[in-house]
Every structure is written in C-alpha cells, then in structure tokens.
Amino acid sequence: MNRLDRLTAILIQLQTKRIVKAEEISSRFEISLRTVYRDVKSLMEAGVPIGSEAGKGYFIVDGYHLPPVMFTQDEASSMLVAGKLVEKMADKSVRTAFESAMHKIKSVLNESEKDHIQNLESHIEIFLRSKYEAKEREDFPDDFMTEIQRAVAKKQILKIDYSNIEEELTSREVEPIGIFYYSMAWHLIGWCRLRNGYRDFRSDRIKKLVNTEKTFEARNLVSLKEYYQSMFHSNKDLIRVVVTFDKASLRGKPLYGSISQVDLGDKVRAEFMMDSLISIGRWLLMYGSHAEIEEPEELKTVMTELVEELHEKYVKEKSELLSN
C-alpha cells in the first residue's frame, strides 16, 4: 500500500469509532508508531481536524465527515462472502439488517463493480447445515440477536422466557456480557438474576425476549474470554469431547467447532464441547480409523452402536439382493 492510500485508510479508520489508539493503526498497517505519528501529522497539515487525548488516542472533531466512501472490487467481494455466511449463521433480525446494509453498499458502487458483484454472486455458496434455513415456527421466533446486541452494548437488562434441554420453561432477568457462536448455535452469556450466577443461553431456546431498557451496574463482569475458559466446567448440558486426528486426513482443513487444537506432529488433538454425542459421532464416522476418541468413554459406545447399525443395514441389503 502506498502512502497516499494509507493516509486515506487511516482517515477512514479514525471515523470508525470515537477514539482510535496509535497502536491500533500501527498494528493494522504494520508500521511503526513513529510512522503513525508522522502520517497523522500529515493529515492535520492537510486540514483534517484531528484531536488527541494523552494516553488514549486520536479522534476526528465532531462535524467532520469524509465524502461518500467508494469500495474496491475486492472489498465489495468480501462483503458478498460475509453475506453468504450471515445467511447461514445469523437469525432473521441480523439477516434483515445485513441485507439492508448490502443494498446501501451496492448503491455506491460504480457500474463495473455492480456487474462484478452480480456475476460473482451465483458462484459463491456456503454448504453448511443451518437451523436458520428452517421455516418460521411459533416455538422458534428467530429474531432476537439484534436486540441482544443492543442490550450488550448499552448494558441493559433482558427479560427472557427460556426453555432448557429438558424443555422446562422459566422466566429470567439477564445482565448480558456478550454472545458467541459454537456447536452450530449462537449463545447469550450473562448474569442470571434467577440463578444468581453466570449462565449460557442458547438463542434458539429463547421463546420470548424483552429489552427492559433498564441499565445494570457492573458487578466485576467477567470477559467473554474468561467465561469461555470456565463455562464448560459448570454447564451440565455440554459434554467435553477430545479426539486425535491423523493430520493427513484433515488435508489442511480447519476443524470447525473445536474450542482448542494441539499440534502433535503428524496428529492433531482437538477438544469440543457438545450437547449431543450422536451428532459428533455421526460426523466422526467420515474419518474412520483416522480419528481416535480419547474421551468420553460414552462416545466410544455411541460410535460402536452407529457402526453396528450401518453394518446390519448393509448386510441385510446384501442378503436381500443375493436371495433375489
């Protein structure tokens, strides 16, 4: 990237949030802090009203805005890929908001870029099983994620009706700390006032959600990373699964859904947290003898039953063919 392009990109970055640290700019463009200071000075000399707060960072003075931003073909293409992922991994509320955002992005593209996106769109697909492709049902509202994000950002209390794995319905007041995606579902993490502790709520088990718009005081809130490291020890719905794979069988592809991976040379040890041993068992079948289950022992029993079921099915089919 030449310096002129970098200066433009830095100016755009300064408009993405209230204060941007010099270290953030340095990391993004892989330049030294000295170069950051020099570039910011050049922007100021060019008439851009940039302020700074000691120990915090830089900011654009209120009221200053860049003219409409133009996207490159590569940037527009990346948004197209993101849209395909949103279709598979986000609920109705997020899909609707992203679709609206994409229309705005497409509206500022020039004619050649619009043609590029239109030609590319039918040639990108995400083949991922997703519950968000299911038809709308009364027991699957599928429209809470946007409101959850709003509550997380504003530290607002959520009131939810939640159905656990035993389908027991309870009403909860939750102080949300964040959301993350694992085991093919989005999860709301927050302090549950009913249970007086941090809890993990699968978004597809939330039957009703209301943002009370009442703010809550920080109670030494743990970070998502801290919760992520500790949650699996207290969540009875999830089962820890450890599997060792022959690296050659992975063919360089990532193990989606794993929470940790350890390189053992010609093997990879992966850890998963699952709410269904049958689901991961069926998935492991395709690796055959190239996957070795370390724990739990129950999964080995599940795999034996699955293999026996397949064996009986095809022995029976072969017997019927021979008898005919």
pTM strictly above 0.85: no
Mean pLDDT (the chain) is 84
| End-to-end CA separation in angstroms for the chain | 71
Assign residue 38 a region (left: φ > 0; alpha: ψ between -120 and 50; beta: otherwise): alpha
Residue 137 confidence (pLDDT): 45
Confidence at 231, pLDDT banded by 50, 70, 90 = low
| Closest CA relative to residue 230, chosen from 205, 198, 260, 257 | 198
- Asked if residue 94 lies in contact with residue 150, where contact means CB atoms within 8 angstroms, the answer is no
pLDDT mean over 45-72:
82
**In percent, how much of the chain has pLDDT > 70?**
86
State how far the alpha carbon of 284 is from the alpha carbons of 54, 106, 242, in Å. 54, 41, 12
Confidence at 285, pLDDT banded by 50, 70, 90 = very high
CATH of segment(s) 145-220 = 2.30.30
What would the two tokens of residue 116 be?
């590029």
Run of H or E including 215: strand 206-215
**145-220 matches 3-60 in CATH topology:** no
CATH of segment(s) 3-60 = 1.10.10.10
**Ranges of each domain in the chain:** 3-60, 73-129, 145-220, 239-313
Instruction: Count the neighbouring beta carbons within 10 Å of the beta carbon of residue 280.
Output: 20
- Whether pLDDT at 138 is above 60: no
pLDDT mean over 222-243:
70
Residue 79 confidence (pLDDT): 87
Residue 318 confidence (pLDDT): 79
252, amino acid identity: G
- Whether pLDDT at 227 is above 60: yes
Q: Which tops the pLDDT comparison, 214 or 118?
A: 214
pLDDT mean over 68-87:
83
pLDDT in tens, 189-223: 889 999 888 888 988 889 999 999 999 986 666 67
User: What is the total residue count of the chain?
Assistant: 324
